[in-house]
Chain A
Amino acid sequence: MRKPSLGQVGVYVVLGVAAIPVLFPVYYGFVGAVMGPGDLATYPPALVPTELHWQNVADVFRSVPLGRFYLNSAVQAGVITLAQVVTSIVAAYAFAFLRLPARAATFGLFLATLMVPWESIIIPNYLTVSGWGLARGSLTYLGLVLPFLASAFGTFLLRQAFLQFPAELRDAAVIDGCGHWRLLWRVLVPLSKPSIAAVGVYVFLSAWNQYFWPLILIRDTEFQTLQIGISQLNDAEAAQPGLVLAGVALSLLPTLAVVILGQRYIVRGLTAGALR
Chain B
Amino acid sequence: MLLLPSVVVFALFVFWPLGRTLYLSVHGNDIFGAPSAYVGADHYREMLSADFGRVLATTALFTLFSVLPAVAGALVVVLLLEARIRGVRVLRTAFALPFAFSVATASVIFAVIYNPAIGVANGLLGAFGIDRVNWLTDPSIALPAVCAATVWMNFGYNILVLSAGVAAIPPEVVEAARLDGATGWRLASRITVPLLSPQLFFLVVVSTIHALQSFGQIHILTKGGPDQATTTLVYSIYEKAFAFGSADFGAASAQAVVLLVIMLACTAVQFGILERRVHYR
A interface vs B, CB < 8 Å?
1, 4, 7-8, 11-12, 14-15, 18-19, 21-26, 28-29, 32, 40-45, 47, 86-88, 90-91, 93-95, 98, 100, 106, 109-110, 113, 115-128, 146-147, 149-152, 155, 208-209, 211-212, 215-216, 227-228, 230-231, 233-234, 238, 241, 244-245, 247-248, 251-252, 255-256, 259-260, 266-267, 270-271, 273-276
Contact = CB atoms under 8 A, between A and B. Distances in A.
B21 A124 contact: yes
B259 A119 contact: yes
Contact of B263 (A15, A120, A245, A274): A120
- A4, A29, A121, A127: most-surrounded residue (chain B CB, <10 A): A121
The secondary-structure label for the interface of chain B is helix
Contacts of B112: 28, 32, 234, 241, 244-245
A29 B105 CA distance: 9
A115 B206 CA distance: 11
A147 B13 contact: yes
B13 A146 contact: yes
Nearest to B119: A45
B67 interface: no
Interface in B109-134: 109-113, 115, 117-120, 122-124, 126-127
Contact of A117 (B76, B101, B263): B263
A88 B7 CA distance: 11
B64 to A, nearest CB: 18
A22 B108 contact: no
B219 A117 contact: no
A124 to B, nearest CB: 4
- Among A110, A238, A271, A275, the one with the most B-chain Cβ atoms within 10 Å of its Cβ is A271
A114 to B, nearest CB: 10
A260 B104 CA distance: 20
Given A87-B9, A117-B212, A211-B219, A22 B95 contact: yes
Contact of B256 (A18, A120, A228): A120
Contact of A123 (B9, B110, B241): B241
B99 A216 contact: no
Closest 10 CB pairs of A and B: A44-B123, A124-B17, A274-B202, A124-B20, A209-B102, A150-B9, A150-B6, A121-B17, A211-B216, A227-B104
B84 A8 contact: yes
B55 to A, nearest CB: 14
B263 A22 contact: no
A86 B123 CA distance: 51
B102 A255 contact: yes
Interface string B199-235: 1001100100100110110011000000000000010
B157 interface: yes
A16 to B, nearest CB: 9
Contact of B160 (A40, A122, A230, A270): A270
B281 to A, nearest CB: 9
B2 interface: yes
Contact of B113 (A18, A19, A25, A44): A25
Given A25-B110, A128-B17, A147-B9, A11 B85 contact: yes
B10 A23 contact: no
Nearest to A90: B2
Contacts of B160: 266-267, 270-271
Contacts of B10: 109-110, 113, 150, 152
7 contacts: A18-B73, A121-B18, A123-B24, A123-B253, A149-B9, A230-B108, A274-B165
A155 B215 CA distance: 27
B176 to A, nearest CB: 21
A128 B12 contact: yes
Contacts of A121: 13-14, 17-18, 20-21, 256
